[in-house]
Chain A
Amino acid sequence: MSDAPLIRMSGIRRAFPGVQAVDGVDFYLAAGEIVGLVGKNGAGKSTLLKILAGIVAPDEGEIAIDGTPVHLPYGPVDAGRMGIAVVHQELEIVPGLSVAENVAVGAGFPRRRLSGAVDWRALRKAAREIIDDLHPGIDPATAAGELSLAQQRLVMIARAIYRRARVVILDEPSAALNDEEITQLHGVVRRLAERGCAVVYVSHRLQEILDLTERTVVMRDAHVVDERATAEFTHAALVEAITGHEGFDATVTRPAAAALGDPVLEVEGLTRSGSVEDVSFTLHRGEVLGLAGLVGAGRTELARLIAGADRADRGVVRVRGRETRLRTPRDAVQAGIALVPEDRRNEGLLTQASVRFNVTLATLPKYRRGRLPVPSRGRERQAVATEVERLAISPGDPERTVSQLSGGNLQKVVIAKWLERDSEILIFDEPTQGIDVEAKAKALGMARALAARGGAVLLIASDFSELVSTCDRVLVLREGRLVGELSGEEVSDRRIVELCYRDQAEPASEHQRLSNKKGTP
């Protein structure tokens, strides 16, 4: 055995249209080591790990296993053969199959020598040995779908061992687990390392990174910005490294603080179990209110509740002071609430239909000429032409099929539909996702313009600097709960990140201050 680390990635670069996701990263893993990988949304963690797992090919760079460079690019199957296994956040278990089958699926079942039939007893024995070693108590014969989320994660880890993985990548394995389950999970991860596996542990919960890992790698803006033995990090130092010192806050201009208008949307105790917990806030006329949080914090889920796309279990919503039931999207639309979804192609538009068809869909009765429910094409064209001009949709032909438009223009078509309806409350879910830099600035400018015209905007963005440059106030969600509200000078990238990462173990001073504030409106 040489002294070379198990995995060495050097000079890795990868660009996607409009963004350099990973920019000259060196990363190594030694056998038996637990390495924490942290960073904001979009810092480049996922891309780096996808490159290691063969899911994404690097543009440049070298990967060596046991000191021997491997041939690039390689696919996920090659990565598996080389002993690299990924446990994704979305579990890839087959619910109807037994635990034992799930452990072996894809890697080949043991066979009987004579008949070639599956040797079920040997399979169950092999699965039981692996599982008992990790965390006894799961019967390999149970259907995997009957297990808890935590147990299903365990099955996925057992699958990695069954495949003789030497590197196990755990992508947010503690998401949606409770404290006790997390403790169990940590036990399993340590056992994995004792067996000689190198473990990469990705998490947004910094406390568990500090508790569990031996070395921590911090990524920011496509680079590795800090890398130390975890013992040398403190919670504060980690937050510091994740946010960065240079603070690009200085480069963005905050909107001038305007006096808040009347409340148009008041949300009280909104809850949908498992995704949104007891969220209360107020949105005012003329305001752009940011909604920040890490992936999985419940931002989109909250937006969907307000847009009536999903039903809330509890909570009250008042629109312009009147209590409003939002049981279907139609309820929300009629109350003047409009959602511009993140997945515009699947949730916002009919891509095979024309611009006119899309823009007028929510307002067809407006274009009737007589009494019959027959929209007049002429009136429709007129209305669409107005919106095309107002939003500078290009190309401006109302009969153009939507699928031929660029990402930024697709978004404008969705917005045009809601402007036709005079919707007052607009919810933008990741409006800058998948559009180029220039279009990004325009999209954010549009949010401000809509607010200035007397609307109110709820803006979700994973790039917090966009929230800083656009929003009057920012709400921060973590694990479905509202954990902070920032306004005026407080709104900074740094403060948002701090709130996103603050672990529950710490004193929740901000939250207390908030709840005190709520008493005196």
Chain B
Amino acid sequence: MSSESVVQAAANAGRGRSRGVARLVLQNAVIAAMVLTFVAFSLAKPESFFTMLTFKAILRDASPLLILALGITVVLVVNEFDLSVGGLAGLTSTLAVLGVSGAHFGLSVPLAVALTLVAGGLLASINGFLIAYLGASSFIVTLGMGTVFNGLEVQILGANTIYEEIPAAYGEIANGSFLGLSNQIFIALGVMLVIGVLLHQFELGRYLYAIGGNREATRLSGVRVRLVLLVAFVIAGVCAAIAGILVSAQAGSANPNAGIGFLLPAYAAAFLGSSMWRPGTFTVAGTVLGTLFLQIIGTGLTLFSISGALVSIIQGGILVAAVVISRLGRDG
């Protein structure tokens, strides 16, 4: 792939050398920025940033975000939006805690987790149905449904936190570790593998990319476009549920509005990723790197005791810059 693109760049250079070089720089600007950021933090804080402990923390803290961002990536591939995943992650985190809590349903942990994943998929299929079969705008539908999910969560919790009689096994999902790495990292790796294979190896992935490229041509080729769209939203929903479970397992409780804060960073990660190789193309590798980039900045800046507000400003600024730069790379 990379050798091919170098050949391509060389061919472009034949037509306009400076243009080809400029494009090559622009296309890799995000990766370069990421490496630079990492080096800068390492040099500035060698004793606190450039440590194994920090690297592990970055990977662990990036995990729920990555899982959510991977689900969003699938929906972005078909050229739609899912703004409900933040609300859905929050709702499912509450459902899982309700399920395992001895003060409520007191289900076994595996059963509660399985039911929560199914619930995530089912709730997301409402989005998928309205969008794929009734032709509603995904932007509006998922914005509304996200609000509904969030409202349901708050309604269930009633502004309280549920923490009573939560089995230790539930907390273990997020807080346990294996080979010195948090379980969350392995779960995120698993999701990454599944989505990666689905998108880049399976027929389903081919159809997803085809729909994103030209929905009408794909429909005329005999692909069940509406079904594939529905599946895309269900995948995003299941991912949101996994992220929700991790969040509440780590906290050992269900907190109101737990998921909402994840929505924008997850989009930022996916869009950062899409600006890396072929601008505008969403890939699993891109989303993974995008998430890591955001987390490096987030973790790094906290070491400088920079306020959360400033972190938001910097992360948001980087996202906008990356998307603009990748557009320049495409049209230039």
CB within 8 Å of B: which residues of A?
Answer: 307, 309, 328-330, 332-334, 339, 341, 346-353, 357, 361-362, 364-365, 372-375, 399, 417
> Which residue on B lies nearest to A368, using beta carbons?
B203
Question: Would you call A362 and B213 a contact (CB within 8 A)?
Answer: no
Closest to B213 in A: A350
Assess the B216–A347 pair: CB atoms within 8 A: yes
Chain B residues whose C-beta falls within 8 Å of the C-beta of A332 in the assembled complex: 222
Q: From residue B232, how far is it (CB to closest CB) to chain A in Å? A: 16
Smallest CB-CB separation from A360: which chain B residue? B206
Within the complex, what minimum Cβ distance (angstroms) separates B9 from chain A? 14
The answer to whether B220 and A357 touch across the interface, beta carbons within 8 angstroms, is no
Contact B220 A374 (CB under 8 A): no
Cβ of B79 to closest chain A Cβ, rounded Å: 12
Complex-state Cα separation, A134 to B194, whole angstroms: 68
Question: Nearest A residue to B197 by beta-carbon distance?
Answer: A374
Interface residue ranges of B86-140 to A (CB < 8 Å): none
Return the contact of B206 from the options A333, A375, A399 (Cβ within 8 A): A375
- Report the 7 A-B pairs with minimum CB-CB distance, sorted nearest first: A333-B222, A350-B213, A373-B203, A362-B221, A330-B222, A364-B203, A350-B214
Q: Which residues of A contact B222 (CB under 8 A)?
A: 329-330, 332-334, 362
Q: Check B25 for interface membership: any CB of A closer than 8 A.
A: no
- Add 9 more A-B contacts to A334-B222, A348-B220 (CB < 8 A): A329-B220, A330-B223, A332-B222, A346-B217, A350-B214, A364-B206, A364-B207, A373-B203, A399-B4
**Residue B152, interface by CB 8 Å:** no
Closest A-chain residue to B220, C-beta based? A329
- Asked if B204 lies at the interface with its beta carbon under 8 angstroms from chain A, I say yes
For the complex formed, measure the closest distance between the CB of A359 and the CB atoms of chain B, giving whole angstroms. 10
Chain A positions within 8 Å of B206 at CB level: 357, 361, 364, 375
Q: Is A357 a contact of B210 with CB atoms below 8 Å?
A: yes
What is the chain A residue whose CB lies nearest that of B4?
Answer: A399
| Chain A: CB-nearest residue to B280 | A352
Within 8 A of A (CB), among B1-47: 4
Contact flag A375-B223 (CB < 8 Å), given A349-B217, A361-B210: no
Contact A374 B201 (CB under 8 A): yes
Within the complex, what minimum Cβ distance (angstroms) separates A348 from chain B?
A: 6
Q: In the assembly, what is the distance between CA of A139 and CA of B204, in Å?
A: 55
Query: A375 with B203: in contact, given A353-B209, A357-B210, A361-B210 (CB under 8 Å)?
Result: yes
Known: A353-B209, A353-B210. A373 touches B202 (CB 8 A): yes
Q: A373-B203, A375-B203 are in contact. Are A330 and B224 (CB under 8 A)?
A: yes
Q: Please indicate the chain B residues that have their CB under 8 angstroms from the CB of A362 in the complex.
A: 221-223
- Name the contact of B221 in the complex, choosing from A329, A351, A372 (C-beta under 8 A): A329
Chain B residues lying within 8 Å of A333, measured Cβ to Cβ, are: 221-222
Most buried by A among B203, B204, B206, B220: B220
Is A350's CB under 8 angstroms from B223's CB? Answer: no
Q: List 5 A-B contacts (CB under 8 A).
A: A333-B221, A334-B222, A364-B207, A373-B202, A373-B203
Q: Does B219 contact A (CB under 8 A)?
A: yes
- Name the A residues within 8 Å of B207 (CB-CB): 364
A328 to chain B, nearest CB (A): 8
Q: How far is the CA of A351 from the CA of B222 in the complex (A)?
A: 18
C-alpha spacing A288/B223, complex, angstroms: 27
User: Would you call B54 an interface residue if the criterion is a C-beta within 8 Å of the partner chain's C-beta atoms?
Assistant: no
Is the CB of B175 closer than 8 A to any CB of chain A?
no
The dominant DSSP class at the B interface is helix
Q: Chain A contacts of B219 at CB under 8 A?
A: 309, 328-329
Closest to A367 in B: B203
B196 to chain A, nearest CB (A): 13
Measured between alpha carbons, how far is A160 from B207 in the docked complex, in Å? 49
Inter-subunit contact A372/B202 (CB<8 Å): yes
**Number of A-B pairs whose CB atoms are under 8 Å?**
64
Least CB distance, A428 to chain B, in whole angstroms: 14
Please give me the residue from chain B that is nearest to A332 by CB atom: B222
Q: Is the CB of B202 within 8 A of A353?
A: no
Complex: how many Å from CA A471 to CA B206?
37
Residues of A within 8 A of B202 (CB): 372-374
Give, as a whole number of angstroms, the nearest-CB distance from B256 to chain A.
Answer: 41
Nearest-CB residue, chain A, relative to B8: A401
CB closest residue in chain A, given B219: A329
B residues within 8 A CB of A329?
A: 219-222
Say if the beta carbon of B218 comes within 8 Å of chain A.
Answer: yes
Distance between B2 CB and nearest chain A CB, rounded to angstroms: 14
A346 touches B216 (CB 8 A): yes
Complex CA distance for A330 and B222, rounded to whole angstroms: 4
Give bound CA distance, A365 to B209, whole Å.
16
Tell me, in angstroms, the Cα distance from A508 to B295 when the chains sit together.
77
Cα-based distance from A328 to B220 in the complex (angstroms): 8
Task: Out of B201, B210, B214, name the residue touching A346 (CB < 8 Å).
Answer: B214
Pick from A339, A353, A364, A373: contact of B220, CB below 8 A.
Answer: A339
B-side contacts of A374, CB under 8 Å: 201-203
Task: Give Cα distance in the complex from A365 to B217, angstroms.
Answer: 18
Closest to B222 in A: A333
> Considering residues A330, A332, A333, A399, which has the most beta carbons from chain B within 10 angstroms of its beta carbon?
A330
Q: How far is the CA of A346 from the CA of B209 in the complex (A)?
A: 16
Residue of B nearest to A341 (CB): B220
A360: min CB distance to chain B, Å: 8
B218's contact among A307, A341, A361, by CB below 8 Å, is which?
A361
Chain B contacts with A in 38-72, Cβ cutoff 8 A: none
Shortest CB-to-CB span from B104 to chain A, Å, is 40
B213-247 with Cβ < 8 A to chain A: 213-214, 216-224
> Which residue of chain B lies nearest to A329 when distances are taken between CB atoms in the complex?
B220
Distance A418 CA – B218 CA, assembled complex (angstroms):
13
Docked-complex contact B201 and A348, CB < 8 angstroms: no
Residues of A within 8 A of B204 (CB): 373
Interface set, chain B 172-213, CB cutoff 8 A to A: 201-204, 206-207, 209-210, 213
Min distance, Cβ A393 to any Cβ of chain B, angstroms: 18
- CB contacts (< 8 Å) of B203 on chain A: these are 364-365, 373-375
**Cα distance, A148 to B45, chains bound together (Å):** 73
- Whole-angstrom CA separation of A365 from B207 in the bound complex: 12
Contacting residues, chain A, for B201 (C-beta < 8 A): 374
**A350 contacts which chain B residues (CB < 8 A)?**
210, 213-214, 217-218
Which residues of B are found within 8 Å of A348, using beta-carbon distances? 217, 220
Q: Which B residues touch A328, using CB under 8 A?
A: 219
- A373 to B204 CA separation, bound complex (whole angstroms): 8
How many angstroms between the C-alpha atoms of A480 and B153 in the bound complex?
A: 56
**CA–CA, A351 to B220, complex, Å?**
15
Residue with the highest number of chain B CB atoms closer than 10 Å, among A334, A357, A399:
A357
Minimum distance in angstroms from A263 CB to a CB of chain B: 23
Of chain B, the residue at the smallest CB distance from A423 is B222
Residue from B210, B217, B223 within 8 A of A347 (CB atoms): B217
Most chain B CB inside 10 Å of its own CB: which residue of A361, A365, A399: A361
